[in-house]
Every structure is written in C-alpha cells, then in structure tokens.
C-alpha cells in the first residue's frame, strides 16, 4: 500500500488550522469588551440575574454553577473559579458583583484555597443592578446559546464605565489585556467631564489606578498621562507598614495588587538566611478576620527604616503593574487610551439608551393606538353596545365594530374585551385622559431620541446616581516618586533626635538633646533672638521661605551638631541667598501633608498643598514659591482647616472678618494669587491676618462669614480689646 505525503506551505497550514483557534480565543474567551466583561463573566452573571438572585436570599454556589452550564459549555470547576474571582470574599475587585458567604480564598494569598461550591452561597451584589438596567427593554442584542435552546445578551447595558472600575486581565494568542481598576467616583466624574468638554484633560479627574488591596502607588503624573494616552505602560505599587505598639515588630497590612503574602514572606526569609537583611528574628503570616498582616519580629537595636527600604528593594513588597488597555470593539481587538475607551463607552451607552427609549415608545404607541379606538367608540357607546347585542354570530362582532366606527382589528378587539362593569363614566374618562398623557410622553421620547445633548444629560444623571449609591474613597494612596527617591538616599543617614533653632537674623543651629541638657544659655548675636524652635530627627529637613518668593530645602544631616554656646550657621551664606534676600518663615515639611496659606495686601489668600513643594533628590531651591504680584503680609503652614481673622486698614475704615479656611479652594500652582477673601475698595488693603484662637477680637462670632469674598464688619464704634485699640 503506497502512502503519499503532500507538501504544503507552513503559512497556509497556520492560516487554515491555527488562525481559527487563535481568533476564537481572542474574540470569545480572553479579551474583555466595552461592558467590561469576558464571555465567561457575562454568562455567569446573566444566569444569576435570570435566577432572580439580585434580590432575596443567597443560593448554593453549586446551583449557580450548574445552571450556568446552559450558557457556558465548560466544566463546573472552570465556572466556579470564574465566580470566585467576582465575589466579595475573594477581594480581587474594587466593586464585587457577587455577594458571597463562606470561604472563597483571598486574592492576596497564594495558598488559601476556596471551599467547594456545595459549601458556599452567593447572590448578586447591589451594584449588579446597574449591569442589567433595562436589559428587558431591548437595550442590547441577544443571540442563541450554544445549543439554540436559550437566548443570552451579547453585551450588558452597564450604566457606568465598568471596564475601568474593576481590574481585568486576559491572555489570548499573540496578545494580552491587563486593565487596572480605577476609583468609581473618579471614573464617573471623568466620564461626565468628557461629555461636557471633549478636550477635558483626563488626569485632572482620573487621578491614578485604585486597587482592592490598597497599598501605595508611586505617583508620577507625566507617566500616568502617557499611559492614559497610549493605553500601555506601568505603575509601581508598594505595601503599607507600621510598627506594633510594643515597638518589637514591623506589621505589613497592605500589599501590592500583583503579589501575595506568601511571595513576600518567602523572599524575606531567603534574604534573612543569606544575611542580606539584618535585624530580623522571625517572619510570619498573621492574617485573620480583621485582615491581612505580615509580622516581622525585630532584634534589639534593629534599624527599622533600613529594613523596610531593603524589603521594598529586594522583595515583592514593591512591585509593578503593567497596563495594557486591549479590548474588543465590534469584534476587533484594539489597544486604546483612556479617553478613547470612555468615548467609545459613551457611544455604546447612548446606543443602549436609544434602544430602550424606542422600546418604551413602541409600548406607549401601542397603548395609545388602542385608546384612540376606544375614544371613537365613546362617541356613541350605545351604538357599540347595540351592535354587540344584536349580532347573532360572535365572529361578526369585530368586523361590524370596525365598519361602524372605522377602527382596525386590534382596536376593535380591545373594545370588545372591555367588561360590562367597566362601561361606566369614570373608567371611560380615565382612559381618554390617558391619551393626552401618552401623547405627551411619546413627544418627549421623540425629542430625546433626536437630541444627543438630552441623551448625555440622562447618562450624567445615571452616573451621578451610581456615584452617590456606590462610590467610595480611594483604597490605594498616592506617594510622589521624588519622596521615594529621597527615602532611598537617606537610609544610610544616621537617625537620632535633634533640636533645631532658627534666629530672627538668620542663624540656624542643630543641637542634640544630651548637649542641650548640659547647656546654660543660648549664645546669640547682639539684638538677635530665637524665632523658631523644632524638635525633630536628623534625617528630616527644613523648608525656608524667603522674601524673594523662593523656598530652600535644608537637610538637617548636612548641618554639623553644635552646642548652645555656638553661634550657629548663617542661612544666607549656607544656602547662597541673593543680595537682599532673607528668611521669612521656616517649617518642618514632614510627610508633605497639609497646606501653606499665603495672605496678600490685595485681600486674597492662596492655599497651596504641601506636596507642591516636594523636590527631586538634588534640588535645593524652588523659585516662585508664592506670588509676587502683590505684597505678602502673612504665611502659615496648617495641617487642617482652621478659623482666621483678617483685618482691613486702620482708623475709621477699619474692618475685620472671621472665616474658615475650608472656603478657600486649594491650588497646585505654587505662585497662584489665590482667591479673594476680603473685599478691598480703592485705596484700601488687607493689613493683618491671624488665627482666631490667637486673636483678642471681641465678639468674634459677629464678624464670622460663611462665604467669600465679603467686606467684613466695621470695627468702628464697637467694643474693642486692648489689642484692637493698639492696632486701630
């Protein structure tokens, strides 16, 4: 028997045999679509919706898995694993779709296995109602399931951009998708802003990804804007840690979304064994019902900061999330930027809403048509009754009504089916009044269908409702990358307590507490005195604001330890001030939280977040630290909102006003002129600002204002304190 071998080009073989499989994986399995779901997710959730699990009690997971097989031709294990990831218990999603009871494992644990489906219970979470809103009003297409016995939706008509709210990852053939989760409030706010202004800058409202496991994101706006524009890139994530109450161990309570507790523990143990990390005696997992916790026991004298920095550097406690915004649009994979995705979703939602409105219009038009037939009958109801009563054959009733009143068959059937008890004046009048209401409603729907502005207004209202109902604060906090760079440099710096003194004439000295206890008096230049004193650590820094609208950074470890008997170092020489430049105000920035307040003669006050003054590693000076367009009269660093008293002029026109700084909107731009707080007339100016708690203003509450700008209240003729009399 002869055998024949037919030669064939490998490209033809791949095209014929491999490409159908590859396209099937891409289109029908691994890449999410504009509603934010892969087919397996959509089939599972729709099955639960059909099982009426949106309300009421939970059911066994096994019931859901079995029923899902009618739409999803996979084994029960694959379907159950899909469900697990969507549950609240697993904690992989910012807004889980499935409300669960039982052990579903944890996204943050590699070894914690979920219980079998017969032991766990599920139902749809509240937010799932937004996925199916108006799905029964023809808002999306339906297709046959694999055996043609049921219908299933092609997409879900989700009322918010679900694709960006929950993380989604898929590996196809020759391509992949990895979309991070974003805060629901930020996503909805960005979508509304984009509908209002197509040129809206995405990064103004969509701050950064937000993950269910919390942690910290190393924030760099330029890098994020590039990711938003191209749909590709990466962000760095790191865990959060603290020290136990007894100070004997490090407790890690939040980890990056991309790693697990076991991975961090295993790597830490390896580093301790290889002596790369010193000062650690034990590492263990203390996760319980309260949440995640990795406990790292410390040896006596261990340098905590150094250990943490080594953990960030050598273990997955700091990890990266690679972004790849690849999704299916009309059955074709596309890598899209965030603005493209939201624009596509807006058009998708407009399409869903149009279909829903057309469905409602059809129902109303159908009812209107029947009532219009009834209206014609009412012109001579006695004749209609006579026709029905006198007709000998039942089949002739409808034709005779149609002929007598010139109505169609549907209308005639509707009239003929009215029960005798309903032939009263109240019933008939109510039905005819409904004609007017239906006509108005149809006209309103027609106007909405023709107006994209109206449709977007409806979408905006839905987004506002979703935000109010399901929005929550960010779980992942932001940390500027520059701050991280500085921390890595400072890990080799000796850390100990110091006292820092700054004098009015610009001298600074750093003294250890031990040396300060042994001292008698501070040595100062003639006519000089201590202006500010700080108790801090050697690794910290000072910010010095000067009269030339500049701010200088002084790292305390760069100052030599001195004694109270020394004069100290002269700031203008140390920091190389310009001619005529001198220090106005010195602060400890700490973690760069809170605000700087700047008050100007013009009556304006600027509130600038402290993070605006963070600098890169070697940068020592920032220009335009505040505005130079008008004279500065007061500046202050505040950690929380407080009440201020502002004064205008002296003498007869003297005025004062009390207000809370929460009325002043913060501005990221350092040299902003701020917002008008005190109204200033021509020839007047704001002369003084002080904290209300430090003020001697008599009857301060009479001067309080709940909005700005205001002119304040006159001080003339009012009872004054000694301080007021001195000032005015």
Chain segment 351-373, per-residue pLDDT in tens: 999 999 999 999 999 999 988 88
pLDDT of 238 > 90? The answer is yes
Q: Helices (H), strands (E): how many in the chain?
A: 21, 33
Structure tokens at 52: 């009426």
Note the helical H segments in 14-51.
Answer: 19-25, 39-50
What does the pLDDT read at residue 489?
44
What does the pLDDT read at residue 380?
80
Task: Please write the tens of the pLDDT for every residue from 402-454.
Answer: 888 889 999 889 888 888 777 777 777 787 788 889 999 999 999 999 999 99
Average pLDDT of the residues in 329-350: 94
* 55 HSE (CA, 13 A, CB side): 1
Q: Is 417 helix (H, G, I), strand (E, B) or coil?
A: coil
Among 302, 234, 239, 291, CA closest to 265: 239
pLDDT of 723 > 60? The answer is no
- With a CB cutoff of 8 Å and minimum separation 6, the contacts of 385 are 423
What does the pLDDT read at residue 520?
64
Average pLDDT of the residues in 268-291: 88
Delineate the domains of the chain, giving CATH numbers in brackets.
37-157 (3.90.199.10), 240-316 (3.30.1360.40), 591-728 (2.120.10.90)
Average pLDDT of the residues in 567-577: 86
Note the helical H segments in 108-251.
Answer: 162-165, 184-196, 202-205, 221-230
Confidence grade of residue 700 (pLDDT, cut at 50, 70, 90): confident
* 493 HSE (CA, 13 A, CB side): 18
Is 507 known to be catalytic? Answer: no
Among 718, 688, 676, CA closest to 701: 718
| Cα–Cα distance, 705 to 664 (Å, whole number) | 13
Average pLDDT of the residues in 131-137: 94
What does the pLDDT read at residue 482?
67
Per the CB < 8 A criterion, the answer to whether 102 and 89 are in contact is yes
Q: Is 379 helix (H, G, I), strand (E, B) or coil?
A: coil
What does the pLDDT read at residue 563?
85
| Cα–Cα distance, 349 to 157 (Å, whole number) | 7
Please identify which of the residues 119, 146, 427, 496 carries the catalytic annotation.
Answer: 119
Alpha-carbon torsion, ordered 359, 365, 369, 371, to 10 deg: 100
Per the CB < 8 A criterion, the answer to whether 697 and 658 are in contact is yes
Task: Please write the tens of the pLDDT for every residue from 595-640.
Answer: 999 999 999 999 999 988 887 555 678 888 999 888 999 999 999 9
pLDDT of 721 > 50? The answer is no
What does the pLDDT read at residue 432?
78
Structure tokens at 300: 């006596």
- Report pTM: 0.66
Task: Name the DSSP letter for residue 700.
Answer: G
pLDDT of 725 > 50? The answer is no
Angle at 713 between CA 709 and CA 715, to 5 degrees: 140
What does the pLDDT read at residue 576?
84
Confidence grade of residue 140 (pLDDT, cut at 50, 70, 90): very high
Note the helical H segments in 126-207.
Answer: 162-165, 184-196, 202-205
- With a CB cutoff of 8 Å and minimum separation 6, the contacts of 725 are none
For residues 261-290, one letter each, b for 16 or more C-beta atoms within 10 angstroms of the residue's C-beta and e for the rest, the string is bebbbebbbebbeeeebebbeebebebeee
The edge-to-edge listing of strands for the beta sheet with 232-238 is 168-171, 176-179, 318-324, 232-238, 216-219, 477-480
**Secondary structure element (H or E) that encloses residue 686, with its range:** strand 686-691
Task: Please write the tens of the pLDDT for every residue from 466-507.
Answer: 999 999 999 999 998 766 655 554 455 677 889 999 998 889
Alpha-carbon Rg for the chain, nearest whole angstrom, is 36
């Amino acid at each position: 028997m002869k055998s024949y071998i037919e030669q064939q080009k490998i490209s033809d073989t791949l095209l014929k045999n491999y490409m159908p499989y590859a396209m099937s994986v891409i289109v029908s399995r691994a890449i999410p679509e504009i509603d934010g779901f892969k087919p397996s997710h959509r089939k599972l959730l729709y099955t639960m919706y059909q099982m009426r699990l949106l309300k009421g009690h939970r059911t066994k997971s096994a019931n859901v898995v079995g029923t899902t097989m009618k739409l999803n031709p996979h084994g029960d294990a694959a379907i159950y694993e899909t469900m697990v990831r969507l549950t609240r218990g697993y904690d992989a999603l910012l807004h889980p779709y499935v409300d669960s009871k039982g052990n579903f494992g944890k996204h943050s644990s590699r070894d914690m296995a979920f219980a079998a489906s017969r032991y766990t219970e599920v139902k749809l979470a509240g937010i799932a109602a937004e996925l199916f809103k108006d799905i029964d009003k023809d808002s999306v297409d339906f297709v046959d399931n694999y055996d043609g016995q049921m219908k299933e939706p092609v997409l879900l008509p989700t009322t918010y951009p679900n694709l960006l709210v929950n993380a989604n990852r898929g590996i196809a053939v020759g391509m992949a998708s990895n979309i991070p989760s974003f805060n629901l409030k930020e996503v909805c706010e960005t979508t509304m802003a984009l509908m209002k202004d197509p040129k809206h800058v995405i990064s103004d409202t969509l701050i950064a990804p937000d993950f269910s496991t919390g942690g910290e994101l190393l924030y760099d706006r330029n890098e994020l804007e590039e990711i938003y524009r191209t749909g590709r890139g990466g962000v760095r994530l790191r865990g959060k840690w603290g020290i136990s109450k007894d100070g004997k161990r490090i407790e890690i309570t939040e980890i990056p979304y991309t790693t697990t507790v076991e991975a961090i523990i295993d790597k830490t143990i390896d580093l301790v064994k290889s002596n790369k990390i010193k000062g650690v005696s034990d590492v263990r997992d203390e996760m319980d019902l309260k949440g995640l916790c990795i406990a790292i026991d410390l040896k006596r004298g261990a340098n905590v900061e150094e250990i943490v920095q080594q953990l960030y550097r050598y273990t997955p406690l700091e990890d990266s999330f690679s972004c790849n915004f690849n999704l299916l649009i009309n059955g074709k994979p596309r890598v899209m930027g965030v603005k493209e995705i939201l624009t596509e979703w807006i058009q998708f939602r407009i399409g869903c809403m149009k279909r829903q409105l057309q469905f409602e219009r059809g129902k109303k038009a159908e009812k209107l048509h029947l009532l219009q037939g009834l209206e014609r009958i009412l012109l001579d109801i006695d004749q209609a009754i006579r026709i029905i009563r006198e007709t000998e054959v039942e089949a002739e009733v409808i034709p005779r009504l149609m002929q007598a009143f010139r109505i169609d068959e549907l209308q005639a059937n509707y009239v003929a089916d009215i029960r005798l008890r309903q032939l009263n004046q109240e019933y008939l009048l109510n039905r005819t009044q409904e004609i007017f209401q239906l006509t108005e409603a149809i006209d309103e729907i027609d106007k909405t269908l023709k107006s994209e502005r109206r449709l977007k207004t409806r979408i905006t209202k839905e987004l506002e409702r979703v935000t109010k109902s399901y929005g929550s604060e960010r779980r992942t906090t932001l940390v500027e990358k520059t701050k991280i760079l500085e921390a890595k440099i400072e890990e080799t710096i000796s850390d100990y307590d110091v006292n820092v003194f700054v004098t009015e004439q610009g001298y600074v000295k750093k003294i250890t507490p031990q040396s300060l206890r042994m001292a008698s008096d501070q040595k100062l230049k003639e006519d000089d005195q201590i202006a500010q004193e700080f108790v801090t650590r050697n690794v910290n820094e000072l910010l010095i604001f000067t009269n030339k609208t500049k701010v200088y950074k002084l790292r305390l470890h760069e100052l030599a330890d001195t004694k109270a008997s020394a004069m100290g170092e002269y700031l203008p020489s140390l920091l190389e001030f310009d001619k005529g430049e001198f220090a106005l105000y010195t602060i400890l920035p700490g973690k760069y939280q809170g605000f700087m307040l700047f008050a100007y003669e013009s009556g304006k006050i600027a509130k600038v977040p402290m993070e605006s003054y963070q600098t890169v590693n070697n940068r020592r000076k920032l220009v335009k630290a505040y505005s130079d367009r008008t004279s500065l009269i007061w500046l202050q660093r505040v950690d929380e909102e407080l009440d201020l008293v502002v004064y205008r002029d002296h003498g007869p026109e003297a005025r004062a006003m009390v207000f809370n700084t929460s009325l002043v909107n913060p501005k990221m731009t350092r040299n902003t002129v701020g917002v008008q707080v005190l109204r200033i007339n021509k020839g007047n100016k704001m002369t003084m600002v002080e904290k209300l708690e430090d003020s001697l203003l008599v009857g301060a509450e009479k001067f309080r204002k709940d909005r700005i700008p205001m002119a304040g209240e006159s001080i003339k003729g009012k009872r004054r304190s000694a301080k007021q009399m001195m000032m005015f």
